[in-house]
Homo-oligomer: A and B are copies of this chain.
Amino acid sequence: MKARIYVTLRKGVLDPQGKAIQRSLSHLGMEGVDEIRVGKFMEVTLGEMTRPDAEKLLDDACRRLIANTVIEDYRFEIEG
């Protein structure tokens, strides 16, 4: 089973990285990118399990390890 996890910075949390990328793009002459927020994207391969089990596992993993919920939000999608 495959899944995808998205981790994004919570609203209002400073994203120095996004700021730097956006500024560089405009230095490159690529105007039109107003804002860019950088998060993480993970492709997960799961062993055999039921969908509810997968959901529980992913939620646990995100909460306890993958996302830093003080400053980040997460969501995930299970394929199929």
Contact B33 A64 (CB under 8 A): no
Given contacts A57-B30, A65-B28, contact A39 B36 (CB under 8 A): no
A78 proximal to B (CB < 8 A)? no
As for how many copies of this chain the complex holds, the number is 2
Interface size of A by CB at 8 A reads 35
CB atoms of B28 and A64 under 8 A apart: yes
Which B residues touch A36, using CB under 8 A? 42-45
**Residue A60 lies at the interface, judged by CB distance under 8 Å to chain B:** yes
Q: Are A34 and B46 in contact (CB under 8 A)?
A: yes
Chain A residues close to B by CB (< 8 Å): 6-8, 18, 21, 24-25, 28, 30-47, 49, 53-54, 57, 60-61, 64-66
